[in-house]
Amino acid sequence: MKRSIHPHPVLVSLLSFVLVLPACGADENEGSAAGDSGTAEEAGPTELVLSSSTFEDGGVIPAVHRCANSPSPAFSWSGGPRETQSYAIVMRDATLGGFLHWVLYDIPASTKELAEGVPSGYEPGTPPGMKQATVLGTAYFGPCSASNTYEFTLHAVDVPVLTELVETSPGADVTAAIEAHSLATAKLGVKAGP
């Protein structure tokens, strides 16, 4: 005589729950991972930010950094387009129609700060590869007129080296090349006196 076996209903429910639970968890984890991956891929460039430990934006630059034969201020930056291949810093007298004071370019993309006192010369040496244009000599020339506003502009540049430039390139040519390759900018304004 054949006997039929009927599992207990509670046991059937428990087994179903145990078998279904991992599948649900896997789906959730896969969805979460896909969501995280999607977020990372969709994340766009962040804002380029320039700062200085030497002075505050809109403030007064210390006397030691004013006029000729003075050390350049310290700078640091963050953010910017992912396509950035190098950086450049341009200093102008905004009050005098953008009169050019100082230009650094071919700053490696891995560099996120410049210490105070960039040495003079076309290739200052630190960081390697950085160039200093000839403007008022190949050295920093700080703000002089107390009533004027000066601007330091950081450019995120789309090439690692501005190959069209040479040591004798005029400042106007250097800034034109920087602007032609600029992906984003950040600025700091400063005065030489109250």
Count how many residues are written for the chain.
Answer: 194
Tokens linked to 68: 């000729």
DSSP 70: -
- Mapping DSSP to helix (H, G, I), strand (E, B) and coil, where does residue 39 land? helix
Would you say the pTM of this structure is higher than 0.95? Answer: no
pLDDT in tens, 135-192: 988 899 999 999 999 999 999 999 999 999 999 999 999 999 999 999 999 999 999 9
pLDDT at 193: 87
Q: What is the pLDDT of residue 184?
A: 98
Whose tokens are 């960081």? That residue is 127
Give the dihedral sign, CA 110/112/114/120.
Answer: positive
The lowest-confidence range among 36-40, 82-86, 159-163 is 36-40
Largest CA distance in the chain: 112
Q: Among 99, 89, 186, which residue's Cα sits nearest to residue 143? A: 99
pLDDT of residue 4: 42
Q: Give the tens place of pLDDT for each residue, 122-137.
A: 999 999 999 999 898 8
CA atoms of 170 and 148, how far apart (whole Å): 24
Angle at 186 between CA 184 and CA 188, to 5 degrees: 160
